[in-house]
Structure formats: structure tokens, C-alpha cells
Homo-oligomer: A and B are copies of this chain.
Amino acid sequence: MKPDLVTEGEFKGWMTWMSEAFEYDTAGPFYYRKDEQGYITAFRAEAKHMNQGGVVHGGCLMTFADFSLFAIAADEFGEDGYGVTVAFNSEFLSGAKEGQLVESRGEVLRAGGSLIFVRGVVTADGTPCLNYSATLKRLSPR
């Protein structure tokens, strides 16, 4: 899926998918880029991401993890490819607070003909806050 380049703000130069209503406009925006260690995703925790307990809502972290899956597997899908999440697992390790930089890195464990397996960890200012793994399914190029 062809990404969009971010042209301003803290994440200037990163990529995102602006046509994603929930992921970009509602819950996000979330961002990704590739560096020497592979793909990294990120967002800045804001008041809108919080739960009543004063930390980023688990649903927000899982949405960010779901975004991260497709960034981590971007080279497998290519710009014309597309896929869906089939199964998603996660463990909540600690809370992320407002103002913290939330990031994720992960790895493609296996990319088969129809299924792709990815795992990763979300951190907040470097502290692990969510572990996740997922099964993705390739769809035909759109």
C-alpha cells in the first residue's frame, strides 16, 4: 500500500497512510520510517490517547501495534500489495504516559505465500509497554 510522506511537525520525513480514517485521523496519526535497524514506528502520546487511569488506552496501543504490523511487513506487501490482520495477540507490560514518545520495532517471523507472521514490542520513552504478535493474510493487489 503506497504510503504518504509527512512534510511537517515532529515526524517530518516519516511515512504514514493518510487514507486510513480510523488509524490516521481518529486514533493516530501514527508514523513509520526505515533506518539502519529496520522499520520503526512512532507517535507522541497526547491527552486524546489516555484512559481514565492516566495512561495510554490499551485500544490505542493495540491500534498502533496493528499499524506497526503493516509497517514492519511493508517490504513483504510492496506498494501495490495489501493485507489484513487475521489474528492478534498482546500482553500489556506497563503504562505509557502523556507526552512520552511511543515507538515500536519488530520483525517478520515468516512470510509465506498467503500468511505473514510478525511480532514486535511497543515502548514508551524506551520502556516496554506492549508485546504483540499477529498473523496477516495477503490479499490480491488492489
Contacts and interface: CB of A to CB of B under 8 A. Distances in A.
Contacts of A62: 59, 62-63, 66, 88
The size class of the interface chain A forms with chain B is 35 or more
A128 B115 contact: no
A20 B51 contact: yes
Contacts of A59: 22-23, 27, 59-60, 62-64, 66-67
A105 interface: no
A19 interface: yes
B53 A84 contact: yes
Nearest to A1: B52
A128 B112 CA distance: 13
Contacts of A128: 109-110
B51 A135 contact: no
Contact of A51 (B21, B50, B56, B109): B21
A49 interface: yes
B23 A26 contact: no
Interface in A14-43: 17, 19-23, 25-27
Contacts of A86: 86-87, 91-92, 115, 135
A84 to B, nearest CB: 7
Given A115-B137, A133-B133, A92 B82 contact: no
Contacts of A88: 58, 62, 89-92
